[in-house]
Every structure is written in C-alpha cells, then in structure tokens.
Amino acid sequence: MGLYKNFKVASYAHAPYLVQAEEKDILRQLDYFDTYLGGLDKIYLEPHRGEHRVSKEKLEAFIKLFKDRGIQVAGGLTATTDLMDDTVHRIFDVYCFSRENFREEFKEVVRETASYFDEFILDDFFFTSCRCPECIKKKGSRTWSQYRLELMEEIAHLVCDTAKEVNPDCRCVIKYPNWFEAWQETGYNPKKQKDIFDAIYTAAESRNPKMSQQHLPRYLSYSLPRYLENAAPGKNNGAWVDNGDSSNNLNWYIEQVMLAVFARAKEICLFGFGGLVDSPELPALGAQLKIADERMSELGSPVGVSTYYPFNADCGEDQLYNYIGMLGVPLEPTPYFEDTAKILFLTASAAEDEEIMDKLKAYVEKGGRAIVTSGFAKAMENKGMSDMTSARITDKVVSGDYYCTDPYIGDRREFFHGPGRITVHGIDYKTNATWSDCELVSENCNYPMLLRDDYGMGELYILNIPDNYSDLYKLPKEVMTLIRKDFARFNRAYIEAESQYNLFLYDNDTFAVASYREYREYMNIVVRGDCEKIQDMSTGQIYEPIRVKDQPDQRFDVAYVMQDEKESVFEVYFSPGTYKFFRIIK
Ligand SMILES: [Zn+2]
C-alpha cells in the first residue's frame, strides 16, 4: 500500500474476465503488479456487464482475496445490458433510459453493485444514443442533446438514490470518457452530474491519434484530467488508461499514464486487470512511474493559459485545443470563464456561452489579453466581434506553404517556408485598424494567420485555424514560435521547435518537456524573466543559456516594451518518446 507518494495505482477487473478467472489467475496478475509496479493500491471489481454476471460466491471470494493482500476494493459498473427489445437499436448495448423496463433492470444492477461495495465507479458506457420510437416520442421538439442531458441528469439521481437506499455509505463515482466533444450529444452532463455524484473520474486515453477514429491528440491525456479537476476541484478521483489502440507502440501507452501523472491525477487506473499479465506494459511503466513520482514531489501545481471550454459545448472546433497543446503551448482548460486570468484562449466551443461576447469585451477592455480562433470569430461575427476588430472571416479558401512574420511588437519582417501546403479561410481586415502579425503568402496575395487588435486596455489576437487541424503542425517553426510567444506572454517559458512537443509548466519555477518527434534533435527552451541557468532535475545537468536577450524588441509604444522581459535561450537535446524535467535557477 502507498507505493507512490503522489498517486495511487488501481486496476479494473471487468465481469467477462472475473466470470472465467480462477484464483490462480488473479494471483498471477497480482504477482505481476508486485514485481513491476511494486504492488497495487486499489481494485475495481465489476459484478455485471451485459450478459456476463459474476456469481455471489465467486465475487465475495475475490473481494476477500484482494483485501487479504491489503488492496482497497471498490466496485465497477458498466451500463450495458443484454435486455433485448426488437424496437431498440443502439450502439454498445447501452440502456434505453426512456423505457421503464430498462430502468428497472438498471436499478437492479445498481442495487446489486451497491450491496457489495462502499464505492463504485461507472465505466464510460453511462450514456444513451438511443433513437428508438419511445426516445423519439419523449424527445419531442428538443434537440437530442437537450433531451439526453436532462435524461441523464435524472438517471444520475436514480443511480445515487438507488445505491444509497441499499447502502447509505456507498460513494458513487462517474467516469467521463475521452470523447469529451461528444458528451452532451450522449447525455454526459458534468455540469449537473458533478454535484449529484460523490466524485468524478477521467478517461486519459489518447490512444492512437492518427489511426483511431476518436482522433484524440496525445495532449488530451494531460488536458482532460486538468479540465475535470478545474470543473470540480478536489472531486476528480483519478485518471484511467487502457492499452487499447496503443499496444503497437509501448511509448504511447506509457506516455498516456505519464501525462495523467504530470496533470497531478490522484490515482491512475490501469485497465484492465487480467489483460496486463505478461504484458510488456507494466515492466516499462513501473520504471517510469518511479521516476515520475520522484519528480512530482518537486514540481508545483500545473499552470497554463486559461482555455475556456464551457460545459456541454457543441459549437465546432472539437478537440482543437489539444492540437494547440501539441505545438508545445501549455494550456489549462476550464469550463469557467476566468476573468481574473492574465490571458485567455477561446475556440469556437466558447460560443456555447450566450454571454461570451459581453464577457470577452469586458475582460479585454479592462486589460486582459485574449487569443481567439478564426472559428470563434466567425461564430461571433454578428454578435459583437466587429466592436473589437476589423477582421472578417470569409468563405474564401486559400492555400500555400510560404509565410511572412511581421509582429507589431518586433518590427522585423521575415519569410519562411513550411514543409507542405495548408488550407485556411481567407480573413479580410482593414489595414492599420488591425495589425497582421503573420500571413500565409499565396501566389501574389497574402492572408492573415495571426491578427492583433487593441481594445480598451487589452489586446485581442485572432489565430487562423486550418480546416484540417493537423495542418497546424505544418507551420514553420518560426511561425509556431511567434504563436507560442503570444500565448506565453505571462508564462515563465516557451519553446522554439517544430510541433510534437508538450510543455508542462508548474507554479514553482519548474517545468517539463515531452517529445513525440520522429527523430532526435536539438530544440530551444526560452525562459522569460529572471534566470541564470536551468537544471535537468533527473540528471542534475546544468544548462547555460546559448543566448540572452535583455533588451526586448520594440516598435512605437513603451507600454508594450514593459510587457517584454529578459529572455534566456537554452539548447536541449531530445530523443523521441522522452521527457525531461527542469528547474529554473535564478
Ligand atoms: Zn430508446
């Protein structure tokens, strides 16, 4: 018990496994955990999944077995059913909660689970996408999203009330799946459910960003635990990773766990128990977790650019902020508009908030700095955006691979080629009413990639997002760095590199960098403000700056000069699939 100082290690045994498992199988998996991870803190045991039901005798024997080993035991519940009805067709055999007979059966499963355990977690099938005749009738004129959000709020109460009728001490935990952009469509409702359930849990599986249809950038394994921690501070019990869709690449599996640890997940649940016996995953993970645990004791709390993603947002640019994270921009996603943040990032998802333009205007006017995407600007076109900028997102489609940077703060016009053509929507703007910091040059014309406007005491930036988000990775590194620098105006560090790096910042002058590059290379880390050198916290290696910029670039306005600080540039060598932790030495 208490294997690591900064997080617990748990696993989840699903019913199909437990039905066929014998005691020797359980012991063999436990021994494997003992050998490579030093043990297991907690196990979630699932009595029932679809047609699979574990007998009472067997379940009780397994509960005892785990407890005898000093392992904390909780329950697991997967809301799928083998209840058949010819008129109900739906994905993954989830329940049709519009129907009384399905509800009654579900309540029975909840009662059964609560009778065994003082805590259980709902695996991520606690949703409905049913469009059976009964659901169509009950939905009425509402959207599916509205209907299902209300329905699953009601079913959340049904779960907790039913469980506590059987076992008043039972703590009910809801796990939110990694497909966060689709939660509202399927009734996942953290806005309401976080206060109904005793705790929440986060799926941190980014799996295979390219070949999985879930299209989840790796940064999700860090950002989603942060989002849910910010949604319900202190109630996010942990992060869940399975080896599905990453078994072809051991590093990908390890990285998912590491990123959840970097996000300060309190518990890591490794799915699934029994499937990890003899696996290459646990030996490799054990070695890395040991290192990560030591480092996490020295790192502070995560910090990053406040990224407003309202609850139930469904306004386009799904997953976009995770692509920005893959450029090495440290983000702190939150469902709340943080008007005290020094800098805000808004994607089209922020348009879910009907008061967003009033909030944004007030924030920037008071001196805030906001970076918004072209998708957000387009969504707000007739809702007040023209008060803040002369820019208009047009339907013109332009492509190219040649860029000009000419930041207003900098006064240096330079040109760069990217590795391939990208396609963006042409943005029109009025010269000298709005400044273009960077343009895509296409034949004998050019279109903005990054625009800057003054508004009140603050600044508004509009970042032009390619239709294919992964085209962001084709920006020349100088263009990416210009963008990173705008995000980093109040951060301690940013990077000068290609894409496929993550930067994780902490509030005690420490940070980490992870590389997902395909080859080894030198990259630059730029520390802003007081800094003599940086130290690799694992090896102790000291890095001296290769360049120090004391005098910031300036153009016309003294106010901007004051925002720029001394910058110290460090050259660091990275191999793919590795990460390093650094301490800033002043
Ligand atoms: Zn239905």
Neighbours of 410 (CB within 10 A): 18
- Phi/psi of residue 406, nearest 5 degrees: -150, 65
Tens of pLDDT along 417-445? Answer: 999 999 999 999 999 999 999 999 999 99
Mean pLDDT of the chain: 94
Predicted confidence (pLDDT) at residue 328 exceeds the cutoff of 70: yes
- The alpha carbon of 136 and the centre of ligand 1 are apart by a number of angstroms equal to 7
- The alpha carbon of 154 and the centre of ligand 1 are apart by a number of angstroms equal to 15
For range 302-324, the mean pLDDT? 96
- The alpha carbon of 259 and the centre of ligand 1 are apart by a number of angstroms equal to 37
d(CA 214, CA 183): 13
- Close Cβ partners of 306 (under 8 Å, ≥ 6 residues apart): 332, 334, 338, 341, 343, 344, 345
Q: 91-110 in b/e burial notation, b at 16+ Cβ within 10 A?
A: eebbbbbbbeebbeebbebb
At 3, is the pLDDT very low, low, confident or very high (cuts 50, 70, 90)?
A: confident
At 83, is the pLDDT very low, low, confident or very high (cuts 50, 70, 90)?
A: confident
Q: Indicate the SS3 state at residue 160.
A: helix
- The alpha carbon of 133 and the centre of ligand 1 are apart by a number of angstroms equal to 7
Going by C-alpha positions, the residue among 258, 306, 320 that lies closest to residue 468 is 320
Predicted confidence (pLDDT) at residue 1 exceeds the cutoff of 90: no
Residue 127: Cβ-neighbour burial (10 angstroms; 0-12, 13-18, 19+): buried
Q: Give me the pLDDT at residue 558, please.
A: 41
For range 96-107, the mean pLDDT? 96
The structure tokens listed for 495 are 């990077």
Q: Give me the pLDDT at residue 207, please.
A: 87
For range 320-343, the mean pLDDT? 98
- The alpha carbon of 124 and the centre of ligand 1 are apart by a number of angstroms equal to 18
Q: Give me the pLDDT at residue 560, please.
A: 46
Looking at residue 111, its amino acid is: R
Per the rule left: phi > 0, alpha: psi between -120 and 50, beta: everything else, 215 is left
- The alpha carbon of 241 and the centre of ligand 1 are apart by a number of angstroms equal to 30
d(CA 148, CA 556): 54
- The alpha carbon of 137 and the centre of ligand 1 are apart by a number of angstroms equal to 9
Neighbours of 423 (CB within 10 A): 13
- The alpha carbon of 89 and the centre of ligand 1 are apart by a number of angstroms equal to 8
- The alpha carbon of 171 and the centre of ligand 1 are apart by a number of angstroms equal to 28
Q: Give me the pLDDT at residue 85, please.
A: 83
- The alpha carbon of 109 and the centre of ligand 1 are apart by a number of angstroms equal to 19
Q: Give me the pLDDT at residue 2, please.
A: 65
Q: Give me the pLDDT at residue 110, please.
A: 97
- The alpha carbon of 224 and the centre of ligand 1 are apart by a number of angstroms equal to 29
Q: Token match 């960098």: residue?
A: 513
At 512, is the pLDDT very low, low, confident or very high (cuts 50, 70, 90)?
A: very high
- The alpha carbon of 138 and the centre of ligand 1 are apart by a number of angstroms equal to 9
- The alpha carbon of 198 and the centre of ligand 1 are apart by a number of angstroms equal to 27
- The alpha carbon of 349 and the centre of ligand 1 are apart by a number of angstroms equal to 28
Predicted confidence (pLDDT) at residue 13 exceeds the cutoff of 60: yes
Going by C-alpha positions, the residue among 64, 49, 41, 39 that lies closest to residue 14 is 49
- The alpha carbon of 197 and the centre of ligand 1 are apart by a number of angstroms equal to 24
Query: 38 vs 33, 51, 292, 297, 441, CA distance in Å?
Result: 6, 34, 15, 18, 56
Lowest mean pLDDT, pick from 10-14, 83-87, 401-405, 476-480: 83-87
Residue 402 or 553, more confident: 402
For range 178-190, the mean pLDDT? 96
- The alpha carbon of 172 and the centre of ligand 1 are apart by a number of angstroms equal to 25
Tens of pLDDT along 256-266? Answer: 999 999 999 99
Peptide bond into 244 cis (omega under 30): no
- The alpha carbon of 46 and the centre of ligand 1 are apart by a number of angstroms equal to 25
Q: Give me the pLDDT at residue 559, please.
A: 43
Predicted confidence (pLDDT) at residue 29 exceeds the cutoff of 90: yes
Tens of pLDDT along 542-580? Answer: 999 999 987 655 544 444 444 557 999 999 999 999 999
Q: Give me the pLDDT at residue 112, please.
A: 96
Q: Indicate the SS3 state at residue 420.
A: strand
